[in-house]
Amino acid sequence: MAKTVITYGTFDMFHIGHLNLLKRLSEMGDQVIVAVSTDEFNEGKGKKTLIPYEQRAAIVESVKYVDKVIPEETWEQKLTDVKKYNIDIFAIGKDWEGKFDFLKDLCEVVYLERTSNISTTELKRSLTRFLSIPHKDLMKAFEALEMLRRDLE
Ligand code: C2G
């Protein structure tokens, strides 16, 4: 019997941790639905997204493991979504362990291992660090690299 899996998330600055999760979901069922958090919902989560919802949703939709993308607008919608889409499995990363056990009456609830050493927060931090390097220092570094490249030619 075909199994439908659902997950919810921001998927900002899409990275391998997101891809690994979506791949895992596709191995758990026949159809994967992803509810991507809208920008407004993220503000409620206290998350400032870098990439707007339309682009985050388009990227997730393009992933071969994903069959359908819907917007995540409220915490409560999980209860109606599970019924509306005849969900068999709700799955999400272990960072949410226990938070969605109330769905256990309606479907299987699975908390999956996160991918280590990657997170949107860390990517943003690295980007901020890079952008904080004074322009003149960056230019000096590029010039040194250019000289090195020429010497090696
Ligand atoms: N994830 C992962 N490994 C990482 C980073 C993220 O497995 N290194 C998983 C998270 O556990 C989550 C999914 O990728 O299941 C999406 O992560 P986020 O975009 O950070 O999702 P979040 O903001 O936690 O939103 O209602 C639930 C919330 O909308 C979840």
- 9 CA → ligand 1 middle, Å: 5
Whether residue 52 sits in one domain with residue 27: yes
Q: What percent of the chain has pLDDT over 90?
A: 96
What is the average pLDDT across 8-16? 97
Whether residue 107 sits in one domain with residue 132: no
H helices within 39-119, ranges in order?
39-45, 53-62, 77-84
Whether residue 113 sits in one domain with residue 131: no
- 78 CA → ligand 1 middle, Å: 15
Backbone torsions φ then ψ of 117, nearest 5 degrees: 60, 25
Q: Which atom of ligand 1 sits closest to the CA of residue 96? A: 11
Q: What is the pLDDT of residues 24-63, one digit of tens each?
A: 999 999 999 999 999 999 999 898 899 999 999 999 999 9
What is the average pLDDT across 10-25? 98
Whether residue 84 sits in one domain with residue 69: yes
Q: Which of 76, 116, 69 is nearest to 95 (CA)?
A: 116
Residue-range definition of the domain harbouring residue 19: 4-117
- 54 CA → ligand 1 middle, Å: 18
Q: What is the pLDDT of residues 116-138, one digit of tens each?
A: 999 999 999 999 999 899 999 99
> From the CB of 118, is ligand 1 less than 6 Å away?
yes
Total domains, the chain: 2
Active site residue 47: yes
* Tokens representing residue 36 in the block: 């991507």
CATH number of 21's domain: 3.40.50.620
Question: Which residues lie below 8 Å from residue 45, measured CB to CB, with a gap of 6+?
Answer: 10, 37
Whether residue 123 sits in one domain with residue 101: no
Whether residue 84 sits in one domain with residue 149: no
Whether residue 25 sits in one domain with residue 98: yes
Whether residue 81 sits in one domain with residue 33: yes
